[in-house]
C-alpha cells in the first residue's frame, strides 16, 4: 500500500497522523515477517511468564535476587508489548498509519519502560553488591520491605521525566514529512520530521539517557 507524503506549510504543523515505513520495502515478505515476529513475541511472553510463575511458586526462590528477576521479566513483557503487537497489526493489515496521539503514547510508554529497566538493573546490581560485600548484613539490608520499595521506585522513577520529554517532543511542529522511517515511534526518527533546529531536544535526550 502506498502512502501520500504529507508536508506542512508556513512552519505550521498540519500532520494529524504518521506513517510507519518499517519493513515496507519488503512487500513480498510481509507474511513471513508476521510469522517470525509472532513466534518471537510468543517466546518472549511465555518465557518471561514462566520465570514469574516459577519464582512465585518455588519457596527456594523466595529471595531478593529472584524477586527482582521476576520484576525484570514482567518489565520485559510490557516492553515488547509496546512495539511488537503494533508491528504485527501493520504487517497483517498493511495499514501503517498511526495517529499523533497513538504515536506519542507509544513513545511515552516505551521511554518509561526503558527508564524502569535501567533503574531495575541498577537495583539488581546493588543487591549483588550487598550480597557479596556485606553477606552478614544482607538479610537486614535487603529485607522484604526494602526490596518492594526499590522495585516500586524502579517502576515509577522514570515516569515524570519521560512524560515531560514526550510532551516536549510532540509540542514541536512537524512540517518535513509524516513518514517515520522506523517500525515504531522512537525519538530520532520523530525529530527528523520536526521543523527548525532540534539541537536542544537532541541534547536533552542524551542528558536524560546519561
Instruction: For 79-99, give the DSSP string.
Output: HHHHHHHHHHHHHHH---EEE
pLDDT in tens, 94-110: 888 999 999 999 999 99
pLDDT of 45 higher than 50: yes
Q: Dihedrals φ, ψ of 2, to 5°?
A: -95, 145
pLDDT above 90: percentage of residues in the chain: 56
Q: Dihedrals φ, ψ of 85, to 5°?
A: -55, -40
pTM confidence score: 0.85
Please compute the mean of the pLDDT values over residues 161-190 and round it to a whole number. Answer: 87
pLDDT of 129 higher than 60: yes
Report the chain's mean pLDDT, rounded to a whole number: 88
For the chain, domains (ranges, CATH) are: 17-209 (1.20.1070.10)
Cα–Cα distance for residue pair 191/153, rounded to 1 Å:
30
Cα–Cα distance for residue pair 182/57, rounded to 1 Å:
40
Residue 67 pLDDT level (bands cut at 50, 70, 90): very high
Amino acid at each position: 500500500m502506498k502512502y501520500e507524503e504529507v508536508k506542512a506549510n508556513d512552519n505550521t504543523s498540519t500532520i494529524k497522523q504518521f506513517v510507519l515505513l518499517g519493513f515496507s520495502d519488503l512487500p513480498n515478505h510481509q507474511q513471513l515477517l508476521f510469522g517470525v515476529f509472532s513466534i518471537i513475541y510468543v517466546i518472549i511472553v511465555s518465557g518471561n511468564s514462566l520465570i514469574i510463575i516459577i519464582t512465585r511458586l518455588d519457596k527456594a526462590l523466595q529471595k531478593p535476587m529472584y524477586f527482582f528477576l521476576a520484576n525484570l521479566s514482567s518489565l520485559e513483557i510490557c516492553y515488547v508489548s509496546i512495539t511488537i503487537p503494533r508491528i504485527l497489526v501493520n504487517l497483517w493489515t498493511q495499514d501503517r498509519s498511526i495517529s499523533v496521539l497513538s504515536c506519542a503514547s507509544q513513545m511515552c510508554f516505551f521511554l518509561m519502560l526503558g527508564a524502569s529497566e535501567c533503574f531495575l538493573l541498577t537495583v539488581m546490581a546493588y543487591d549483588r553488591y550487598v550480597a557479596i560485600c556485606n553477606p552478614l548484613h544482607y538479610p537486614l539490608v535487603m529485607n522484604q520491605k526494602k526490596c518492594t520499595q526499590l522495585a516500586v521506585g524502579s517502576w515509577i522513577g522514570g515516569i515524570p521525566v519521560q512524560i515531560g520529554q514526550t510532551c516536549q517532543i510532540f509540542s514541536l511542529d512537524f512540517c518535513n514529512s509524516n513518514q517515520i522511517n522506523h517500525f515504531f515511534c522512537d525519538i530520532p526518527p520523530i525529530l527528523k520530521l520536526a521543523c527548525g533546529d532540534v539541537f536542544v531536544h537532541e541534547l536533552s535526550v542524551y542528558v536524560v539517557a546519561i
